[in-house]
Structure 1
């Protein structure tokens, strides 16, 4: 089904009425454009539709300017501080939050919905092109959980990954890690620069420089996987961070990327979310995202869903000058 941004915006305006995404008749209110861009199957119940819509719409909204993102999430009933049963009450909450009148809040909502629809349609179209360009995809990551500890003598990254075979006889995984810094350009990244340990799930059988800053890793599995079977691996990486960011740039599709980053003292003066940006833009301060506030332990926790191969997802920080 071909979806236009205008059709999708119209359905989103209907969805924002009443309880929004919490509406008890959600299966009736989720129109064909919404179902198409979110990839919903026929016959799904309210709970499944609510979960899918929440994940998709929240993810797309994060790419909007902060005020429009807040406006859209509040209007649809997705903002935790605006979970009011009536749309008018959510408009009033937004007006107070923005320190504007109700009329301005409604304009922000309309602007946000139109931009959200454009982002959703563009994202869906690009994902379709990516899938069409990768007919030989043999496996994908169902769940990737990463913990980054920057308060260690040498920063450590713990990675736990569940992969799903999309073909038979998957015996080896092609993994990669990029260290972006001019220090490494033109020369190999040695084993002392990047240490890789396998905790479980396979054995490293190859390590090759794919570019001046990208290391390719071959992980041989204990036994070949059959189509639709799942397998879990756990790795540890140790390396100095040459740029103040950590991102995942998937080679294969990733359904869920869960990231914890623990900062060393002093806490960075700024931490921002990076979602679906070009890899080269990850270190560019002009590429902006949501501001994140580390908790009392100096940590931030973010999640990303349905990652597009070739784009970067993660966080960037600006170190304290002290």
Structure 2
């Protein structure tokens, strides 16, 4: 579907009315252009449409200047301080933040929406709406969310993954966990070195050493998936690692990788975000990346989109007494 910026601007201006994105009738208000750029399927319900729309708008808004970013987030009731149920009230809140009148605030919102649509169209044209950025012959991950707690006696992570079948009769997933530079290098990593528990979504049928530090996992699905079928899995992994980084190195395409890491006290001296680097470079202090700062809870939150198989995406840190995780695939 060919989408123009003007079409998307018109739909976004309708979307900002009333309660904005939190509106209960969101499925009726999401037009064809918005559905295309946000990859909203026909059978998606309100909650899923809201999630996809919120993530897309937040991603596109992040590229805007601060005043326009705040303006569009307030317009759609996505700003935490501007969740008023009426659009006019959100305009008034924005005017106070900008120290301008309501008329100026409305102009900023209109300008922000136009820039938002341009960012959306550019993003869509790069990868193609509705299709993964890197085609797969079997399956790809639509969404991977990982929460990693390094402040536990043994580092512990939870992984929530939604996969999409790119072919018919997908009955098994080939997953992997890598313990980088493991103390078990050259030996089989047993349950004591890496424990994996499936919480829902299938049965772990095989565990093999694919290399000296990479454990392959075969997950049998409850029922085979046909093309475009979706399935969600959840697992927990616990391990002692020996490198101060956590990265995703996908073997199948990944649309979204969302990562939360909670650090132990004292906080790391340096935290760096890494995107599309070689796996071996993830542990190299000379590898450049965006500097991050843990919040008051000792946590960082990063997102990556359209991950290319074979490259690493994640976080590296320096710590005087590190607890060191490796990587997922």
TM-score (ref. length: structure 1): 0.68
Alignment counterpart, residue 294 of structure 1, candidates 287, 293, 296: 296
CA-to-aligned-CA distance 1:130-171 (integer Å, 9 cap, x gap): 63752413353665433230x468x72424345657353655
Indicate the SS of the match to 1:71.
Answer: helix
Corresponding position of 1:218: 216
Determine if contact 1:258/1:303 at 8 Å carries over to the other structure.
yes
Distance 1:52 1:267, change over 3 A: same
How many positions carry a matched residue from both structures?
Answer: 294
Aligned Cα root-mean-square deviation (Å): 4.3
- Superposition pairs of residues 11-90 of structure 1, within 5 angstroms: 11-23=11-23, 26-42=26-42, 49-90=49-90
For 2:254 and 2:175, the matched residues in 1 are separated by: 14
Kept in 1, the 8 Å contact 2:133–2:253? The answer is no
* Residue 268 of structure 2 is aligned to residue 264 of structure 1: no
Match of 1:308 in 2: 306
Residue by residue, what CA displacement relative to the aligned partner does 1:108-150 show, whole Å, maximum 9, x if unpaired? 433432332233223333343863752413353665433230x
Asked whether the 8 Å contact 2:253–2:307 carries over to 1, the reply is yes
Distance in 2 (alpha carbons) for counterparts of 1:190 and 1:253: 26
Q: Who is 2:326 aligned against?
A: none
Residue 240 to residue 95, structure 1, CA distance change in 2 (3 Å) = farther
- 1:3 is paired with a residue whose SS is coil
Shift of 1:219: 1.5
Q: Is the 8 A contact 1:72 1:112 kept in 2?
A: yes
* Distance in structure 2 (CA, Å) of the matches to 1:241 and 1:118: 40
Task: Measure the CA separation in 1 of the matches of 2:315 and 2:109.
Answer: 27
- Specify whether residues 319 and 242 from structure 1 end up closer, same or farther in structure 2 by C-alpha distance, changes over 3 A only: closer
Comparing 74-83 with 218-227, greater Cα deviation is found at: 218-227
Check if 1:284 corresponds to 2:288: yes
The two structures have a TM-score, normalised by structure 2, of 0.66
Say whether the 8 Å CA contact 2:157–2:238 is kept in structure 1: yes
Query: Is contact 1:71–1:109 with CA below 8 Å preserved after alignment?
Result: yes
Q: Is the 8 A contact 2:54 2:78 kept in 1?
A: yes
Determine the structure 2 residue equivalent to 1:206.
Answer: 209
Structure 2 CA distance for partners of 1:12 and 1:317, relative to 1, 3 Å: farther
